[in-house]
Amino acid sequence: MAQSYFYAGEREAGIAASLAYAKEVLQLTPENNPDIIVFRYGLFSVDDARRVIRIADQMAVGKEKIMVIAPERIFHEAQNALLKLFEEPPPGTTLVLIVPAVGNLLGTLRSRMQPLSESGSVVSTEAQAFLAASAGEREKIISKLLDRAKSDKDEEKQAARGEALRLAEGLQLSAYASLLEKENTGIRAFASDLDRFIPILHERSAPLKPIFEHLMLTLPRL
């Protein structure tokens, strides 16, 4: 298996998602595993890109290895230097690039990658169920979610907000996965809306109702 992914969000959360993917999908044990390589950088330069490429060409100890590149900032020149690597990863190598936001990625590089969610999966179960539902069922899902988010019980309220965030992230990942197959202005606009909404949904007091009403109105076919 050779795959290229990006994670858009907080760096440590991206590393955690990458490790979850390594464990659940690649069947790699996270503890002291030489086939799990995490690079933490402040500013990621072209020289750093060349070093990553050299290490990527080295054989894995086992059958699979994962390389996680986690910079605070990354120059466009460095992204260009990674294009060939992310387009054709060496056999048995999974690559993950973590960035603060999708907008930080060059379109040419992003087109070579799939998005990774916080759970380490490509699309959350909440989003899968939502997209598989009919229009009427989707309205019921959102209505129940909003009702739970207004619960007097803090535990129930925060659980609902967590589900709302995972749903939005899953829709975002589905949108970008669709764009990898074919450019579509409606899906692009929907993905851009989610890029703006998801940081807000991380806040405990995020206004769920207007956000999901907007998403329901603008949801394209994914």
Are the CB atoms for 114 and 5 separated by under 8 Å? yes
Are the CB atoms for 8 and 102 separated by under 8 Å? yes
Residues 56, 149, single domain; the answer is: no
Q: What integer pLDDT is reported at residue 182 of this predicted model? A: 78
Query: How many folded domains does the chain comprise?
Result: 2
Q: What integer pLDDT is reported at residue 189 of this predicted model? A: 93
Query: pTM of this prediction?
Result: 0.60
Angle, in degrees to the nearest 10, between helices 135-149 and 125-132: 140
Q: What is the CATH number of the domain that holds 14?
A: 3.40.50.300
Are the CB atoms for 87 and 2 separated by under 8 Å? no
Examine residue 120 and state whether it is found in any structural domain, yes or no.
no
Task: Return all residues near 22 (Cβ < 8 A) that are at least 6 apart.
Answer: 28, 30, 33, 36, 66, 94, 120
Examine residue 49 and state whether it is found in any structural domain, yes or no.
yes
Q: Which of 86, 115, 144 is the last residue of a domain?
A: 115
Rounded Cα distance between 77 and 49, Å, is 9
Q: What integer pLDDT is reported at residue 67 of this predicted model? A: 97
Q: What integer pLDDT is reported at residue 74 of this predicted model? A: 93
For residue range 28-68, list pLDDT tens digits in order: 988 889 999 999 999 999 999 999 999 999 989 998 999 99
- Give the number of C-alpha atoms closer than 13 A to the C-alpha of residue 126, restricted to the C-beta side: 21
Q: What integer pLDDT is reported at residue 219 of this predicted model? A: 94
Domain with 31 in it: 3-115
What are the residue ranges in the chain where pLDDT is below 70?
Answer: 1-2, 118-124, 180-181
Q: Which of 92, 115, 138 is the last residue of a domain?
A: 115
Q: What integer pLDDT is reported at residue 183 of this predicted model? A: 83
Q: What integer pLDDT is reported at residue 180 of this predicted model? A: 61
Task: Return all residues near 99 (Cβ < 8 A) that are at least 6 apart.
Answer: 6, 7, 8, 71, 74, 105
Residues 96, 147, single domain; the answer is: no
